[in-house]
Structure formats: C-alpha cells, structure tokens
A and B are shown apart, each in its own frame.
Chain A
Amino acid sequence: MPAVSVDRRRAFPGGGPVPPPATRAAGGRGWILLVLGTLLAAVALLNAMIGAVPLPAEVVVASLAERVGISLEAAVTDQQAAVLWAIRLPRIALAGVVGAALALCGAVMQGIFRNPLAEPGIIGVSSGAALGAVVAILAGGSFTGGYLAAFSIPLAAFVGALVATTAVYLTARHEGRTEVVTLVLCGIAVSAIAGAGVGLAQFVADDDELRSIVFWTLGSVSGARWRDLLVILPLVVVGSAVAIRLAAALNLLVLGEREARYLGVSTEQVRLTLIVVCALVTGAAVAVAGIVGFVGLVVPHLVRLAMGPDHELLLPASTLAGAALLLLADLAARTVAAPAELPLGVVTALIGGPFFFWLLRRARRDQGAWG
C-alpha cells in the first residue's frame, strides 16, 4: 500500500510542494486579473467560432468591430452575422454571466460559512428556485411556450430562491445573531422540504411536464436570448460590486466571527448583506439557466489554490474564472455530441467532480487545509 500511494503522488501532474502564496501586492493582483480577463476573452472567442456554422476568428472580430463602428477588411455574410448575433453571442453572454454569478457566490459562501465545502445552494437558494420553477412548469409554463411562459419560469424560480433563503435566515436567527451551524442545518431542512416538493411535482407531472422539469434541473443556457441577460446582468454586476467591496471584511470573517468583531467588523450586517447578494445573484442565475452544479464549489477552490485565499483577489478572480469555465463547459455541452446537446449541469458535474477530488487531495497535502 505505501508504495502504491507514493507512485500515485508522483503521478500527479504538477505535484510536489507548492510555494506558499506570496503576500498581496497590488501590482501582482492587477496582473493576475489581466491574465484571467484575457483567458476569458479567448474562451469567448472560441465559443463564438465553433458550432454548426463555423465562424473564422476574423469574421467574429470584424462583425464585433462593425457594431462599434470600425470597419475591417474581412467580409461578413448576413448568415454569419445572424448566427453570431442571434445565437452565439447571447449564449456566450449568458453562460459567462451565469458562471461568474455562481463562482462569485460560491467564493462568498465559502467565506461566510468559513467552510470550503459551502456553495450557493447551502442556504436553500437552488432548492427553492427548483421548487419555484417546477410549480411554474406544472401551472402551465414551459420552455417551448410563449413569451409569458418564458418569463414565468425564471420569475417563479427567482421568487422560490428568495423565499427559501429568507426562511433559512429567519429560522436560523436567534436573539439578533445567526450561528453558522444553525444556518447550515436550517438550509438542509429547507432544501429537504423543497426537494420533497419537487419530487411530488415530478410524481404528478405528465410526460411533457416531466421533460421540462428534468431539462430545467439539469441546467442549460441553450436558447439564450438577449432579454434573459436583462434579468441577470444588473443583479450580477451590482452583486459583485457589493461583494468585492466587502472582501476585506470577508477575510476577517474567515478568521472567525468573534475575531472579525474584535477587528471592527459589524459581522451581522456584513453577513446579512452578503447572503442577500448571494440569494439574489444565484437566484437570478438559476432562474435563467436552471441548476448548474459544481461551478460555485470548484472555481473558488481552483482560484484559491493558484493565488491564495485573500478575498480581495479571490472574488474578482473567481468571477472571471467562473465565466471562462462555464463557457468551456457549454462549448463541450454543445459540441461533444453534436448535433445533440448535453445538459450543461451534467457536463459541469462530470468534469468538476473528478477534478475536485484531485484538487482536494492536493490541497490537503500541500497546504494542510481544504483549499
């Protein structure tokens, strides 16, 4: 046995001791974010190019430039422009924003709960949203329905997310304070109740409804339209701005609630703000894309492993990395089995799960900490 484990260690790509993350330096931070931003742009470009109608890079760039009034050499046909602007770009934008939202909320939740296994779903957001969506589907909405139906499901999901989170937070509150363990347990209870509701709905649903429910719970950004972005983009932008402003306080919260208070943080206020932000942002993301697992859990870990746990860097970096990762996952979802499409949630879980194993083992070994 020992010999085997030694071999396995060697087999890890990039194994061996990782130098501890250096102390934060403003220059270094800007540089990392620049790299991630470039990576995100590259992945987005890749997503725009690949598909049933291949679009060369120069066509994509030329068409984008045309919109902002710069005329380039490359000729763009009407068909190419239509594919790009009506199909690819909305989907890219939506996948990016959803990925950013989930990763940001994952990082924030792991900080608030001082627990690297936390994810947005822990406060009941996902299960509440699922119940809301399922109720809307049963009530007559459907992904293939009309304009009203298209909005009724996201709206119901959003409301469900908020109701569940509020219920969790209020039941966990005691004498003006909230204990983390109580919060997690209340989250589990609410998730169980919502899960039962979803199960019951699946039980009474007819075949079409069942299909819609399953489709929704597996997550997808297919059929994205620009107007979906109107729902989610403002929330994600404002939410990440608020969260990043509170990043320093979040660092102190990770040290412990009392420690944070001793260091001058109004802990209850900071935590309530961040939970509300996460509920809104995750709720919006789940509402437009269904349940996309693992992004919120894995991305912050990945970022922490690369650049340390300082939230002032972790939050913006997770936002960018989450967007890039979900774009890659969506690219895989629509190309691997083309012309069929895999559910996005299945792809993220399939890639994320094994990767997470590796990440955990490596982090445990090198840093003596989960993450």
Chain B
Amino acid sequence: MTSLIADRVSYHIGARALVDDVSLTIHPGRLHAVVGPNGAGKTTLLRLLTGDLEPDTGEVRLGDRPLQQWRPREAARQRAVLSQQVVLQFAFTVTQVVEMGRAPYRDRDTPAEVARAVAEALAATDIAHLANRSYPTLSGGERRRADLARVLAQHTPVVLLDEPTAALDVHHQDLVLTVARKLADRGGCAVVAVLHDLNLAAAYADRIAVLADGQLRADAPPSEALDAELLSEVYRHRMVVIEDPVHGGPLVLPSRGRSHLPVPSEQGTMAPERGGPDRCLTRADRWGRVVRADDSARRVDEASMGSAR
C-alpha cells in the first residue's frame, strides 16, 4: 500500500511562506482531514502533495520515491486529485467526464473495463441517473459528484480531495465523505481531504491536521486536534468544543452573530454585545447549563467526560 509523506516542506511566494516547514504522513487506510482558516495554506499544501507545486525546501514522497521522480502517467495511477473547482466549457456528458478518470490506463484498459469502472463510480456517487447529461447543465452539487466519480474511476491508492463538500447540501456532504471513508476503510486508500467544516472533519476523519499561516498547528485524532483554545486562536473566532450528543466525538460550536443569547444568567439580562472577536460568548450546553467562552472548553469537557462515565 502506498503512503504519501510530506517531509518538512516549505513553499514561498516572494518572502511570504505559504507553507512553512510542514511534515505530514498520510497512511493507507486513513482519512486525513486538513482544516484551517482561509489563506492558511491548505490548498497550497495539497498542491505540494499532488506534485503540482514543487516545494522550496523539503520533499514529498509518494510510496518509495520522491514525487518528482514519478512520471506523470505512473503518478496518475497512484494518486487521484479532486480540485477545488473544475471548469468545463464543453458539453461532455457525465459518462465522458468519468471516463477521463481511466486515461492513465488507456494503454491496457478494455472497453468493458472502462465501462465497469465508470458504472461503479457513477453508482458510488449516486449519479447513475445523470450518466447521459451534459456536464455544464448540471447543478453545482451534481458536478461535484461527477468530479468525484472521475476521481474514483481512477482507482488509485492515494486520493486527495480539495474541499469535496463545498457547494453540497447536508445529504450529499454525507454521501461524499462516506465515499471517502469507504475508500480508506475498504479500499485501504490513503485519503486526504481539505475541509472547511470542522464538524465534518471531526465526524469522518481519522486524523485532523490544523493549518494556520502555513504552519502545522496540530496533527492528531479529532478529539485531540480540535482543541477549543487552538481553534479560537487560529480562526480568530471564539469556539467551544463539546461532545457530540448524538454521535459522540467532538462537536465544534463557533460563536454566531446573535446566537449566544439569550442566556439565563445570575447577572440578570445581558444585552448582546455585537462586533469584535472578543465579544462575550456564553452558551447553554446540552443540559441547558450555561457555558462561558473563557473556560468553556474545560467545563464542557468535564461535563461530557462526566456523562461518558
């Protein structure tokens, strides 16, 4: 099985480090989420991992060799990539687009093999009914799934997904990440997914890498990586982390414009403070008890630990 290893990679534009000394190992059979605020360098890191960009220092290894030593077609049989956005101006059908995933095997695929790989990929992403539709006429969510089907058809041991759930509704977010999960669990694939939704990352990933200002701030299982203090700092936004009352595992609750009120409080009624990141944040936890932002993480953790016992 193939793993993907970033060994102390950095990438600069001018003097600015977009990715700064990051080491990351994507193991076979694991779904590794990369999270972080906008501009943290997530996509740059992903492009370094795909070989699309060459690191200024450090190296990326795919399997046993540095990425740069792979020939394009060989690499395409080892790793597939779902880009953040795919723009297709011509009216290819969904089937044709998914068939493109078989391009790296063109010299040895029989038509029957292509058809089977395409049919499987269409079924896995729940778009078999769109097979003959023209890609540009699809909705955003349908396109995303067609792109994912193309990536699946590529049958690679390493899969990189850049915001696979962007523009998808809740149902299809689940569908896409369940597919990613299956790739890791059943296919033994090493899967990387850049995600914006921390709770999706918590729910599906084996490990979460938290990136901020190009630096790796955490790389651990979700319960460890999603630390309220760390998240509040890197996102410059107050967050609390509680135990997910339904699924277990961490659940991240960011402060929302008006949502932190009303709060029954011993200090009487509190006017909502609007504006800045330092605004007061209090929340009711799942038992209706008030949790304050300052020490929210600890209290909620204690509370959830208590309930777990």
Contact = CB atoms under 8 A, between A and B. Distances in A.
A23 B97 CA distance: 10
A370 interface: yes
Interface of B: 50, 52, 72-77, 79-81, 83, 86-93, 95-97, 99-101, 103-104, 106, 132-134, 136-137, 154
A262 interface: yes
B134 A367 contact: yes
A22 interface: yes
B83 A259 contact: yes
Contact of B89 (A114, A252, A308): A114
Contacts of B137: 367-369
A21 B100 contact: no
Interface residues of A, number: 32
B219 to A, nearest CB: 24
B134 A369 contact: yes
20 contacts: A20-B93, A21-B93, A251-B92, A251-B100, A254-B92, A262-B50, A262-B76, A263-B101, A264-B103, A265-B103, A304-B91, A308-B91, A309-B91, A309-B96, A367-B91, A368-B136, A368-B137, A369-B89, A369-B91, A371-B90
Contacts of B154: 263
Interface string A71-94: 000000000000000000000000
Given A254-B90, A258-B83, A369 B96 contact: no
Contacts of A310: 92, 96
Nearest to B84: A258
A309 B83 contact: no
Contacts of A24: 96
Nearest to B131: A23
A255 B99 contact: no
A368 B91 contact: yes
Interface in A110-138: 114-116
Interface in A221-273: 248, 251-252, 254-256, 258-259, 261-266
Contacts of A22: 93, 132
Contact of B76 (A20, A264, A363, A369): A264
Interface in A309-360: 309-310
Task: Please name the 4 residue pairs, one residue from A and one from B, whose CB atoms are nearest each other, closest first.
Answer: A264-B76, A264-B73, A309-B90, A369-B136
Given A304-B90, A367-B137, A368-B136, A23 B73 contact: no
A263 B76 CA distance: 5
B134 A368 contact: yes
A273 to B, nearest CB: 15
A255 B86 contact: yes
Nearest to A254: B90
Contacts of B104: 263-264
Contacts of A258: 50, 52, 81, 83
A21 B91 contact: yes
B213 to A, nearest CB: 24
